[in-house]
């Protein structure tokens, strides 16, 4: 069951013999995350329906909430990682936007398409490469590149077949790989700890992306010190 209410309006309800998890997201976060998706607007976003767009979307949202509750909020390593603190809310906001109807959809303007040239991409890549260890958002990247979020999104899709945040994830994965190669497990270093340091809060997904990129699981890289 999902219950949606506007944060600036009162509501009342009655429940009996029920257990529930209360998940709250800032409206501004929804707008920020909506702007990162292809074809999304950088205007304020509102949810326009209280029912999930499909049973599968509803199940995905339930699983996301359960995962954060069971594996992130109870994990001291994850909670201590600054990049996790920013990545998890953005992931939850994206899941909510995918689950419920909203007002975010639009197409890039003519100006956005004009600004999506290779020079825009080069500036964005340079900024991401230099700031991957910081808590940066797509809005930060767009501001540093001097274009709109939609133009930035379109530039990455047009020239690299990815998104700004997708490229940021690739850069952070590379840094995690470098750290795994330099780490010594006999000193207490773990894959989970290093992954969390670079903003990867889901161990299974980190391992999947790592294996896809480097051809072997991350723990093999870490254990090379002991061979």
Nearest partner of 113 among 141, 147, 145, judged by Cα: 147
CA distance 222 to 52: 41
pLDDT of residue 106: 53
In the chain, domain spans: 24-107, 167-226
CATH T-level topology, domain 167-226: Arc Repressor Mutant, subunit A (1.10.10)
pLDDT of 203? 86
State both tokens at 53: 């767009």
Per-residue pLDDT of the chain (227 residues; tens, 9 = 90+): 556 666 667 777 777 777 767 788 888 888 877 765 544 555 678 888 788 888 888 888 888 888 888 878 888 877 788 888 888 888 888 888 888 888 775 556 666 666 677 889 999 999 999 999 998 888 889 889 988 877 888 888 888 888 888 899 999 999 999 999 999 998 989 999 999 999 998 888 899 999 999 999 999 999 986 65
């Amino acid at each position: 069951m999902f219950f949606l209410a506007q944060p600036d309006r009162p509501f009342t309800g009655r429940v009996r013999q029920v257990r529930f998890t209360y998940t709250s997201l800032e409206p501004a976060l929804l707008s920020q995350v909506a702007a990162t998706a292809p074809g999304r607007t950088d205007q304020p976003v509102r949810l326009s329906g209280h029912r999930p767009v499909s049973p599968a979307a509803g199940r995905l949202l339930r699983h996301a909430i359960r995962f954060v509750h069971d594996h992130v909020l109870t994990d001291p390593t994850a909670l201590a990682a600054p990049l996790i603190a920013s990545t998890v809310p953005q992931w939850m906001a994206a899941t909510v936007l995918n689950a419920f109807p909203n007002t975010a959809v639009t197409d890039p303007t003519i100006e956005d398409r004009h600004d999506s040239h290779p020079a825009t991409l080069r500036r964005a890549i340079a900024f991401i490469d230099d700031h991957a260890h910081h808590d940066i958002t797509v809005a930060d990247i767009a501001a540093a590149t001097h274009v709109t979020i939609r133009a930035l999104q379109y530039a990455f899709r047009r020239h690299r077949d990815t998104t700004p945040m997708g490229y940021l994830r690739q850069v952070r994965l590379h840094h995690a790989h470098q750290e795994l190669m330099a780490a010594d497990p006999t000193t207490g270093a773990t894959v989970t700890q290093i992954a969390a340091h670079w903003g990867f809060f889901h161990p299974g997904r980190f391992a999947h992306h790592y294996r896809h990129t480097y051809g072997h699981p991350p723990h093999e890289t870490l254990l090379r010190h002991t061979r």
